[in-house]
Amino acid sequence: AQDVQNAERALSLVKSNAAALGLSDENVLNSRVSDTYVDALTGNTMVYLQQTYTSIDVDKVVQVLAFKNGKLVSGAGKRIDLSLLKKPAATLQKQAVTPSVTINDAIHAAAQHLHLPAPAFSRRAAPANADFSKKTDFGDMGIAKSKITARMLWLPQNTFERVKLVWEVNISPKKSSDSWRILVDAKTGNVIKKENYTVPDNWNKINAKEEVLKHGNSNHNTTFSFGKNNDHDNDYLGNNERENIFPWEALGIYRVIPFPEEAPSFTRRGSGLAINPWWLSPRGSGATPFNWHADGSEQYKNTRGNNVLAQEDLDGNDSVGRRAEGFPIGDNLIFSYKPDYNKPPTNFINQGFAITNLFYWNNIMHDLSYQYGFDEVSGNFQQNNLERGGLGKDFVYADAQDGSGFANAYFTTPPDGENPRMEMFLFPGDPAKVMTINSPSSIAGKVNAVEGSISPNNLLNNIGPVTGNVVLYNDASDTTHIACNAASNGKALKGNIALVVRGLCNFLDKVLNAQNEGAIGIVITDNIPGEPP
């Protein structure tokens, strides 16, 4: 009820400022308030005005408006001139829009486009009174790691003079870091557009080590903080300050790459201690009213809190992994995993350090962005929104040493109220030392390649060199070699190294399929010019 009242008040602001916005009565009629809140920093009432056509949203045609004391102070965004469309929107406002393709068929088309199994539901007719302008929740349907949703949209065409009726289908496939938004033509059933909510970091994998070393040799003397200044080579609180710590507030001590450094090579010590780093936020800012391990109902003793749950995910399955445990001293929690960079990153202490560092940096970014307005009502990531508006239960799942990829990082940001996921991958060693072709002599020699990290126990440093004949993996069609399903030449692959082409499914599936055929190793060739997969 409160949301409805807020939307009505926001729409009233739009109507009273229609002239300043250049909106006609028809424009206002074909709009809805998709979100509204009062910005805590400026006191402005923020209104997101979504354009509609026949009561259905026009895809990504939104105006962002700021009002102060009932008057428009700022606006951005775009609208479609409804007079350019074939039929005036006013005459179509109450007219039913009937797609040729059902919502069930649209989900099937999206799943097929992603090479997923058929969704687990019957193709029954949709209810006649169903409102498909709003998202319909279909559950995971046996093919996704979260709920599949679908709704109807108008997609602007060319110079915004036409719109096409489409189904928007959202799918996050199992065993994948991807989270897809797919648009299916509601007339033909063809997939006409897809977007990924998951953003990769896109490191150049061959030059990654060189770049880190180059940056590490630079001299970083800039002092940067939010709330107080800190010298890079000192802990966040000096000795004189530690004596004045409030006795009723428990300490959190973390060995990390300290803010604002970026990597071990950027600091002379390689790591440092951060003490109660939530104090970096000005007191009273509201960013962290408890501490980083409390969500208002639970006080955790590991790398979980209101903003983030940090854990390892070496098997790349996005399930429960090891969290770094704090060493309790009274009410204090000490996370002092001192890294040894000469040992593997999956070493117990090194892994604990990586998880702690990921927990620390996610919280730092939460508290920092909070100062600039990324708070509860504007859709930030928190389990408990403390009755400040917005949707809660959407803390970040932060996976350290994720096994579903390497030399990269992903961040998936779904709508407010759904959990984001951050995935941090391991970097392989020197690419020139990973792979050597022994024969034929015409192509013999070292080859640029990067070693996968799906199974850290099987890294070459741990098991030694692997030598064998290379056999091309044939799919069922015998014309493709992507290894997303069982091979047609399984006997030939047994005891040999499988050669596979990148694409269509994730590396974990390819490796598992090759292993099931009896291969002793796998080489994935790139289908994209430039850096290796």
Q: What is the per-residue DSSP string for 287-329?
A: S-SS-TTB-SS-B-SBSB-SSEEEEE-TT-SSS--PPPBPEEE
**531: pLDDT confidence band, cut at 50, 70 and 90?**
low
> Is pLDDT of 34 > 80?
yes
Average pLDDT, the chain: 82
Spell out where 54-185 has E strands: 56-68, 71-77, 136-137, 149-157, 162-171, 180-185
Going from the C-alpha of 244 to that of each of 237, 238, 240, 249, 498, the distances in angstroms are: 10, 10, 7, 11, 63
CA dihedral 146, 199, 77, 419 (to 10 degrees): 30
Q: What is the pTM of this model?
A: 0.68
Q: Of the ranges 227-241, 343-357, 369-383, which one carries the lowest mean pLDDT score? A: 227-241
Q: How does residue 527 score in pLDDT terms, banded at 50, 70 and 90?
A: low
Give 75-118 pLDDT, tens digit per residue.
999 888 777 665 554 444 444 578 999 999 999 999 999 989 88
**2-80 and 103-196 share one CATH topology?**
yes
pLDDT above 90 coverage of the chain, percent = 43
Kindly indicate whether the domain formed by 103-196 is annotated with CATH number 3.40.1130: no
DSSP letter assigned to residue 513: H
CA–CA separation, 155 and 167 (whole Å): 9
314: left (phi over 0), alpha (psi -120 to 50) or beta: alpha
Q: Across residues 267-291, what is the average pLDDT? A: 82
Q: How large is the greatest C-alpha to C-alpha distance in the chain, in angstroms?
A: 79
2-80 placed in CATH 3.20.20:
no
pLDDT surpasses 60 at 225: no
pLDDT at 153 over 90: yes
Band (370; pLDDT cuts 50, 70, 90): very high
Q: Coil, strand or helix: which one is 247?
A: coil
Q: For position 163, what pLDDT does the model report?
A: 86
Q: One-letter amino acid identity for 298?
A: E
Indicate the CATH number for domain 208-425. Answer: 3.10.170.10
d(CA 435, CA 379): 46
How far from each other are the two terminal CA atoms of the chain, in whole angstroms? Answer: 50
| Whether residue 265 has pLDDT greater than 90 | no
Q: How far is CA 59 from CA 31, 107, 141, 152, 172, in A?
A: 12, 18, 26, 10, 20
In DSSP notation, 376-392 reads TTTT---S--TTSSS--
| Predicted pLDDT of residue 285 | 74
The whole-angstrom separation of Cα 299 and Cα 249 is 13
Q: Tell me what percent of the chain is helix, strand and coil, each rounded to the nearest 5.
A: 20, 25, 55
| pLDDT higher than 90, residue 384 | yes
In sequence order, the 6+-apart residues with CB closer than 8 A to the CB of 83 are none
The structural domains of the chain, with segments of one domain joined by +, span 2-80, 103-196, 208-425, 450-525
- Residue 369 CA from chain centroid, whole number: 17
Per residue in 307-339, pLDDT (tens digit) is 999 999 988 888 899 999 998 877 788 999 999
The pLDDT tens digits of the residues spanning 435-476 come to: 888 888 888 887 777 777 666 667 776 677 788 899 999 988
Residue bearing the bigger pLDDT, 525 or 167: 167
What pLDDT does 530 receive?
55
Token pair in block for residue 242: 């530690």
* pLDDT per residue as tens digits for the range 392-403: 999 999 999 998
Residues with Cβ within 8 Å of residue 485, at least 6 apart in sequence: 475, 476, 513
